[in-house]
Amino acid sequence: MKHTDISSIELYKEGQRLEQLEHSEAERGKQGALRGGNSGCLTETGQPIGGSTSCPRKAQARFIGLQVPASSKAFPFFDAGYANEWLWEQKLAKSWKGKVLTEADPAGGTKWTIEGVDVTGRPDIQLINEDGTVEVVLELKCKAATNSAFNVGHHDRPDPSHLMQLAHYMFCTNAPGILVYSFRGKGSTSYWAYKETGIRDIEPFDREYKLGWEGPNDDHLYYIRDNGEKQETLITKTGIKEYYRSIVVATRNGELASKPANITETGSKMKYSSCQYCDLKPICKVAKDLDRFKDELEVMIGDKK
């Protein structure tokens, strides 16, 4: 028997491309809603807290149906994220006595309304008790790059965007949250990380941060670090609602939503600005109003198709 002419890798890549097309089609149907994946929070002084993905302007682009397609370079990282979620679902289904509600389950979605606009979301996993209440909501993040794994694993630094996204789902489900980072690789740390810490290798790990609410009206988010220390934050339920409200109001006024401030959830300065690695950076450099932002985005989306 002769060998096959079929390339398994080409088939996989084509499947990946079709999967992303289906995703983009599904996204188009959600235009006019705000999304949990774009969660953010305003501080008491109205500054949007920064993070790897949180930006009122990115949320505004999605709100008006102009999401820039992901680069094919990001596909392997998406796949690693899906695989990580699947692994957690399988294991928790064996160990948790109640129901494990996943992102794919139609009952797993969240929805609330601000200024007449729906804010929808899909938490990764909700552990449901026998009486139907949510025991805890989980946000799972797969670390695929050694440098970002090292940031969480060694420096104990959760991403403010991930904290705000989970805080949003906690507020929707009225349950506490756990943010979990998983790294399934093994490798050498960077020269700079080695110089700073003396640590040469990074091994597989899972790290969890437990999140809860405290203070007046149970409005302030705190989390427990891996070493057991409590960390207070600037993230509030009020600030999450105000973040989404600011996007609706800006859009209705024909204005561009704000840029993220250069601050983390603790009020400290971000190590890197949220704009630094953003695909929309060239657009934000030139667009001073919503119309120009839309025009530039449409060109970028057309070029990427």
In whole angstroms, how far apart are CA 90 and each of 20, 87, 102, 125, 298?
24, 5, 11, 11, 40
Our CB check for ligand SF4 shows the closer of 54 and 236 to be 54
Query: Contact letters (x/-) for ligand SF4, 207-246, by CB under 6 A?
Result: ----------------------------------------
Our CB check for ligand SF4 shows the closer of 57 and 141 to be 57
Compute the distance between CA of residue 147 and CA of residue 74 in angstroms, rounded to an integer. 16
Q: How far is the CB of 274 from ligand SF4 (least distance, A)?
A: 4
- Cα torsion angle, 77, 79, 81, 83, sign: negative
Is position 292 an interface residue for ligand SF4 (rule: CB under 6 A)? Answer: no
Q: How many CA atoms lie within 13 A of 11 on its CB side?
A: 4
Is position 270 an interface residue for ligand SF4 (rule: CB under 6 A)? Answer: no
Q: How far is the CB of 97 from ligand SF4 (least distance, A)?
A: 42
Q: How far is the CB of 74 from ligand SF4 (least distance, A)?
A: 15
Is position 58 an interface residue for ligand SF4 (rule: CB under 6 A)? Answer: yes
- Reduce the secondary structure of 112-147 to three states and give it as a string: EEECCEEEEECCCEEEECCCCCEEEEEEEEEECCHH
Q: How far is the CB of 197 from ligand SF4 (least distance, A)?
A: 29
What contacts 42, CB < 8 A, 6 or more positions away?
Answer: 48, 49, 239, 242, 243, 246
User: Which range in 140-148, 235-243, 271-279, 295-303 contacts ligand SF4 by CB under 6 A?
Assistant: 271-279
Is position 35 an interface residue for ligand SF4 (rule: CB under 6 A)? Answer: no
Is position 278 an interface residue for ligand SF4 (rule: CB under 6 A)? Answer: yes
Candidates 36, 48, 57, 84; binder of ligand SF4 (CB under 6 A) is 57
Site for ligand SF4, residues 240 to 269, rule: CB under 6 A? 259-260
Is position 274 an interface residue for ligand SF4 (rule: CB under 6 A)? Answer: yes
Compute the distance between CA of residue 74 and CA of residue 54 in angstroms, rounded to an integer. 18
What contacts 284, CB < 8 A, 6 or more positions away?
Answer: 57, 259, 275, 278, 293
Q: How far is the CB of 282 from ligand SF4 (least distance, A)?
A: 8
Q: How far is the CB of 245 from ligand SF4 (least distance, A)?
A: 18
Task: Tell me the number of residues near ligand SF4 by CB under 6 A.
Answer: 11
Three-state secondary-structure class, residue 185? coil
Is position 281 an interface residue for ligand SF4 (rule: CB under 6 A)? Answer: yes
| CB of 199 closer than 8 Å to CB of 187 | no
Candidates 55, 59, 261, 290; binder of ligand SF4 (CB under 6 A) is 55
Q: How far is the CB of 67 from ligand SF4 (least distance, A)?
A: 12
Q: How is 217-279 classified by DSSP, letter by letter?
A: GG-EEEEE-TTS-EEEEEEEHHHHHHHHHHHHHHHHTT-PPPPPPSB-TTSPBPSS-TTTT-T
Pairing between β-strand 125-128 and β-strand 117-121 as defined by DSSP bridges: unpaired
Our CB check for ligand SF4 shows the closer of 210 and 259 to be 259
Residues lying near ligand SF4 in the complex (CB under 6 A): 55, 57-58, 259-260, 274-275, 278, 280-281, 284
